[in-house]
């Protein structure tokens, strides 16, 4: 047992982890328990200043079982995915010593000691904004720090993968590839960083949150249905994606936006077409807007992609293009009259400033985009978008050393 066990000390670690959006999609598993995919995927990590999970973890001799609180509510840790992560981490834990507090936990102690996990997502959970990716990556990263797991980020990514597939990609910032791997035990199904966030930092990502309600179909059951019923999925995994992965790696390396946009759009449409459950995401897509934006100035100015929910993710190649895109989005999707600008466009507000929009009236008086000026009045979709998030490629997980950021009371080991 840990030294000083007479004392009710509490040792905590707090970490922050980003979400990610796949531009070459993970869709379909070859092993449901180990969460092994049928193809490689590539993602962009989103700036945690705008979308992130913060998780505090604690260990104390006073804890009598593992417990977790998510967004203020206690949730069960009994699910196989959480249990797999906890087991893997415990088996890799090392000695921990804090001389100042008189704490010593040996590698063996970790098998018996219990942890408390308190997590908070600063965006709607399970609305298709990859909350489980950020959440499970943060859980694994913070516990790995607490338990002194010495494995590198790639090895940690293989643990996070067992909690939620796309979580493995949230262990890195910038541009990340999840290698599907070949081993039956999943040991080579890991994430690697292709380039960090500074490599291509003029990209701007605008997410149109169509609905922040919980998804009706989970990604897990959607994928299972696809693999069981679609004849196209095998062709996608074996023939289509391997070529796209090579091309996408090249596009990212060369910051080739037209190629990046073409591949991103092609891949999301490929998944949408294969998976009829996701067809409802098309309700957002305004084909006229999309075509106009694509042909603007001759080369694609915007890449679009959808994740497991109906929210649209639009990627612009620089701030100027992003400001023009935001003007068009706000023209077509104005807010309901009772909305306020600060909650209708969140994240990086400077894009709003670049778009020349300072108040709600500026949205109402936006002129029609030049490409439709000569046409008859166009349809608007007031209130169809709940809000927009402006963000950019961002960094990977970090430990927050400032005690005031901890979500756990250091005296009681319970949520603050
Ligand atoms: N699922 C969704 N969000 C999560 C979080 N923050 N931690 C663990 N699991 C999650």
Judged against a pLDDT cut of 50, whether residue 45 lies above it is answered with yes
Q: Are 357 and 330 in contact (CB under 8 A)?
A: yes
Low-confidence winner among 102-116, 128-142, 295-309 (lowest mean pLDDT): 295-309
User: In this prediction, what percent of the chain has a pLDDT beyond 70?
Assistant: 84
Q: Is the ipTM of this complex over 0.85?
A: yes
CA distance 151 to 146: 13
Tokens of 192: 């690697």
Across residues 202-231, what is the average pLDDT?
Answer: 70
53 ligand 1 Cβ < 6 A: yes
Tokens of 300: 């694609």
pLDDT exceeds cutoff 80 at 250: yes
Residue nearest to atom 4 of ligand 1 (CA): 135
CB 316 near ligand 1, within 6 Å: no
Cβ 164 under 6 angstroms from ligand 1: no
One DSSP character per residue, 174-225 reads SEEEE-----TT-TT--EEEEE-TTTTTT-EEEEEE---SPPSS-HHHHHHH
Is residue 142 within 8 Å of residue 120, measured between CB atoms?
A: no
Nearest alpha carbon, ligand 1 atom 9:
135
CB-ligand 1 contact for 136 (6 Å cutoff): yes
Domains in the chain, CATH or no CATH each:
11-197+398-405 (3.30.230.10), 204-391 (3.30.70.890)
Ligand 1 atom with the smallest distance to the CA of 53 is 6
Q: What is the pLDDT of residue 36?
A: 98
Strands (E) in 279-406, as ranges, are: 302-306, 312-316, 345-347, 387-391, 398-399
Burial 374-400 (b: 16+ CB within 10 A, else e): eeeeeeeeeebbbbbbbbbbbbbbeeb
Whether residue 187 is predicted with pLDDT greater than 60 in this model: the reply is yes
Relative orientation angle of helices 153-161 and 80-92, to the nearest 10 degrees: 150
3-class secondary-structure state, position 70: strand
pLDDT, greater one: 126 or 119: 119
Average pLDDT of span 249-274: 89
- pLDDT band at residue 275 using 50, 70 and 90 as cut-offs: low
Q: Helices 257-274 & 241-253, crossing angle to 10 degrees?
A: 150
The confidence band for 225, taking pLDDT boundaries of 50, 70 and 90, is: low
Residue with tokens 């047992």: 1
Atom number in ligand 1 closest to CA 119: 6
Element housing 105 (H / E): strand 103-105
Tokens coding 128 = 């298709």
**Whole-number Å distance between alpha carbons of 364 and 306:** 27
The finding on whether 70 has its CB within 6 A of some atom of ligand 1 is yes
Q: Where are the alpha helices (DSSP H) in 275-371?
A: 287-295, 319-332, 341-344, 350-354, 360-364
Confidence of residue 219 (pLDDT cuts 50, 70, 90): low
* Ligand 1 midpoint to CA 340 (Å): 29
Q: What is the CA radius of gyration of the chain?
A: 22
Strand order across the 115-121 sheet: 73-75, 67-70, 115-121, 52-59, 11-18, 398-399
Site of tokens 């070949």? 182
Q: Compute, in angstroms, the gap from residue 136 CA to the centroid of ligand 1.
A: 6
- CA 318 to ligand 1 center in whole angstroms: 31
163-183 residue pLDDT tens:
999 999 999 999 999 999 999
Ligand 1 centre and the CA of 121: distance in Å? Answer: 7
pLDDT at 231: 67
Distance (angstroms) between ligand 1 centre and the Cα of 117 equals: 10
Lowest mean pLDDT among 123-137, 294-308, 325-339, 356-370: 294-308
Q: Return the pLDDT at 212.
A: 55
Ligand 1, atom nearest to 55 Cα = 6
How far does the centroid of ligand 1 lie from the alpha carbon of residue 131, in Å?
A: 6
Taking 50 as the threshold, does the pLDDT of residue 285 lie above it?
Answer: no
Q: Ligand 1 in contact with 41 (CB < 6 A)?
A: no
pLDDT mean across residues, the chain: 88
The reply to whether ligand 1 has any atom less than 6 angstroms from the CB of 119 is: yes
- Side-chain-side CA neighbours of 170 within 13 Å: the count stands at 38
Rounded Cα gap, residues 303 and 300, in angstroms: 7
Which pLDDT score is estimated for 277? 41
Distance CA 117, CA 195 (A): 31
Q: How far is the CA of 374 from the centre of ligand 1 (A)?
A: 49
Q: Is the pLDDT of residue 221 over 80?
A: no
Q: How remote is the CA of residue 290 from the centroid of ligand 1, in Å?
A: 33
Task: Note the pLDDT tens digit of each residue in 14-40.
Answer: 999 999 999 999 988 999 999 999 999
Give the per-residue pLDDT at 374.
63
**Full-model pTM:** 0.90
Q: Which residue has the higher pLDDT, 224 or 34?
A: 34
**For ligand 1, is residue 170 a contact (CB within 6 Å)?**
no
Question: What is the mean pLDDT of the segment spanning 68-79?
Answer: 96
- The pLDDT of residue 129: 75
Residue 19 Cβ inside 6 Å of ligand 1? The answer reads: no
């Amino acid at each position: 047992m840990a030294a000083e066990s007479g004392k009710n000390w509490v040792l905590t670690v707090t970490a922050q982890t980003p979400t990610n959006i796949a531009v070459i999609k993970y869709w379909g598993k070859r092993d449901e328990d180990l969460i092994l995919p049928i193809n490689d995927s590539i993602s962009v990590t989103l700036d945690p200043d705008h979308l992130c999970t913060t998780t505090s973890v604690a260990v104390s001799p006073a804890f009598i079982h593992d417990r977790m609180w998510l967004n203020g509510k206690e949730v069960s840790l009994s699910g196989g995915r959480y249990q797999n992560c906890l087991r893997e981490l415990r088996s890799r834990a090392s000695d921990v010593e804090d001389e100042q507090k008189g704490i010593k936990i040996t590698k063996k102690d970790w098998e018996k000691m219990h942890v408390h996990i308190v997590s908070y997502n600063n965006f709607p959970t399970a609305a298709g904004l990859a909350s489980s990716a950020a959440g499970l990556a943060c859980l694994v990263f913070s516990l790995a720090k607490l338990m002194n797991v010495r494995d590198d980020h790639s090895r940690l990514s293989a643990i996070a993968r067992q909690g939620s597939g796309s979580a493995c990609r949230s262990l890195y910032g910038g541009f990340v590839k999840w290698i599907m791997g070949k081993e039956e035990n999943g040991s080579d199904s890991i994430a690697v960083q292709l380039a960090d966030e500074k490599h291509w930092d003029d990209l701007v990502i605008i997410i149109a949150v169509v609905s922040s309600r919980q998804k009706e179909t989970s990604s897990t059951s959607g994928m299972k249905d696809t693999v069981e019923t679609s004849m196209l999925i095998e062709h996608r995994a074996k023939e289509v994606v391997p070529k796209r992965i090579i091309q996408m790696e090249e596009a990212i390396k060369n910051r080739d936006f037209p190629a990046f946009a073409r591949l991103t759009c092609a891949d999301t449409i490929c998944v949408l077409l294969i998976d009829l459950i996701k067809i409802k995401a098309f309700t957002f897509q305004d084909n006229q807007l999309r075509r106009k934006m694509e042909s603007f100035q001759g080369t694609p100015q915007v890449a679009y992609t959808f994740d497991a929910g109906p929210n649209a993710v639009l990627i612009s190649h620089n701030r100027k293009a992003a400001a023009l895109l935001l003007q068009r989005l706000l023209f077509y999707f104005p807010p309901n009259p009772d909305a306020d600008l600060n909650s209708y466009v969140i994240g990086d507000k400077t894009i709003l400033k670049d778009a020349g929009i300072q108040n709600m009236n500026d949205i109402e008086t936006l002129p029609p985009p030049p490409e439709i000026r000569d046409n008859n009045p166009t349809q608007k979709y007031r209130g169809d978008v709940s809000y927009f998030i402006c963000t950019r490629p961002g960094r990977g997980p970090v430990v927050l050393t400032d005690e005031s950021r901890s979500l756990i009371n250091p005296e009681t080991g319970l949520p603050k």
